[in-house]
Amino acid sequence: MLITDVEVEGYGRVDVRLGGGRVVGIGRRRAGRGDVDGRGGALLVGLHDHHVHLAALAAEAASVRVGPAEAGDRDGLVGALRSGPPGEWVRAVGYHESVAGELDRWVLDDFAPDRPVRVQHRSGALWMWNSAALRAAGLDGGGDGGDGRFWREDERLRGFTPPVRLDLRGVGARAAAYGITGFTNADPHPGQDLPELLSVLPQRLVVMGIGDAPVKFLLDDATLPTPGELAASVAAVRPRPVAVHCVTRVQLLVTLLALEEAGPVAGDRIEHGSVIPAETMPWLARLGVTVVTQPHFPVERGREYATDVDPDDQAHLYRCRSLAEAGIPLAAGTDAPYGRADPWAVMRAAVERSGGEAVDRRAALDLFVGEPQHPSRARRLAVDAVADLCLLHVPLQEALDLMSADVVRATFVGGRRITPTE
């Protein structure tokens, strides 16, 4: 394939030839037609979403969103839960207590008594079921079910609910429109069949816990291991890297102590890094562990964080610029469906951050162009590079000024176009 008249960093306006899944030539423009006329738009390496939950994202097509932005308040939540035919299961996602307070089976019974309802918290960690759902699943006897609140029990609950239609093709198509050529799936306990399930996606995949991908460790404060216990678990999977879910101060401290004891390896990651106190940053830098963060969360969830987060932690939320300035390897993921799936929206949020955490526009783009196995190492388009590419309608500087998915014209994986032809 020959892509003509594109802007490539370091080369200016050139023609780019692809072959065998790679970039085989970058040279001056010549007269004549190519397979794709770039019209002076920038040609970049494709974006990689370094932290996403693909099956859950695909299930959104069969779900009702009931977060603060969608449901708004109690009346909006009730209307959403009652919107389908009586008797049919309702799968609601994105809930936060600011909508209608804490939910349990009895509150949900009052909201929607005539159908099985299950509501997932925005964190993805908690499901709340009403009595009709518990009865339909056979979980309402012998004390099983209790108040209808299930913490981190997705695996057990999966067999008790009707199959959910997964719109993976839609996920792939929408991601291609964003310029995404690869995903790192961050589920903590992936089934061995998950790569096959996700194989319908046109993007490249890294599935944590499978093959040579990082092994995911999910920490919760209530069941937190000691640093020695976590270090032993990390040592048991070496030489593979680990990706440790850290959303609280204590989780980060336990993880750093464990990595110190076990010894870090290339590719070790902190997922989220929701709270990173300033005094831990030299430690992170010394260990060389990469932080894969979500800089958009303080922008999207600022109102809720103002009341939910301990005041002592407010200044340390989802650091971005301060991590980079401290020499800590940094990348980003959308955390979709628990965050917006649009990486360009995440970039805008990173640029607009307050409290000294805003990054410049190029640095925001680089959060999503890292190598899949080493997210902080930014890829650049060059001869012999894998032809995972994103063609824009406009030159790079204009794209950075706009910072919108609207600038994406075409996406290629291994030299094959995965967006519709014009």
Contacts of 230 (CB under 8 A, 6+ apart): 217, 219, 244, 254, 255, 257, 258
pLDDT of residue 162: 86
| Residue carrying structure tokens 């056979």 | 138
Predicted confidence pLDDT, tens digits, the chain (422 residues)? 999 999 999 999 999 999 999 999 999 877 668 899 999 999 999 999 999 999 999 998 889 999 998 999 999 999 999 987 788 899 999 999 999 999 999 999 999 999 999 999 998 889 999 999 999 998 875 445 689 999 988 888 888 888 888 999 999 999 999 999 999 999 988 888 899 999 999 999 999 999 999 999 999 999 999 999 999 999 999 999 999 999 999 999 999 999 999 999 999 999 999 999 999 999 999 999 999 999 999 988 888 888 888 999 998 999 999 999 999 999 999 999 999 999 999 999 999 998 899 999 999 999 999 999 999 999 999 999 999 999 999 999 999 999 999 999 999 999 999 998 76
Q: Which amino acid is at 12?
A: G
* Residue owning tokens 């209608």: 100
- Sequence-separated (6 or more) residues with CB below 8 Å from residue 182: 46, 47, 48, 49, 203, 204, 205, 206, 372, 388, 413
* In contact, 186 and 271? CB cutoff 8 Å: yes
CA separation for the pair 363, 360 (Å, rounded): 5
pTM: 0.92
CA gap 388, 137 in Å, rounded: 44
DSSP string across 298-315: HHHSHHHHHHHS-GGGGG
Nearest-angstrom CA–CA distance, 82 and 76: 10
Task: Scan for tokens 């440790």, then name that residue.
Answer: 244
Measured CA to CA, the distance from residue 220 to residue 236 in angstroms comes to: 20
Beta carbons within 10 angstroms of residue 295's beta carbon: 27
- Token duo for residue 99: 């909508």
For strands 12-19 and 2-8, give the pairing. Answer: antiparallel
Q: Which helix (H) or strand (E) covers residue 80, if one does?
A: helix 74-81
Q: What is the DSSP letter of 407?
A: G
* pLDDT score for 300: 86
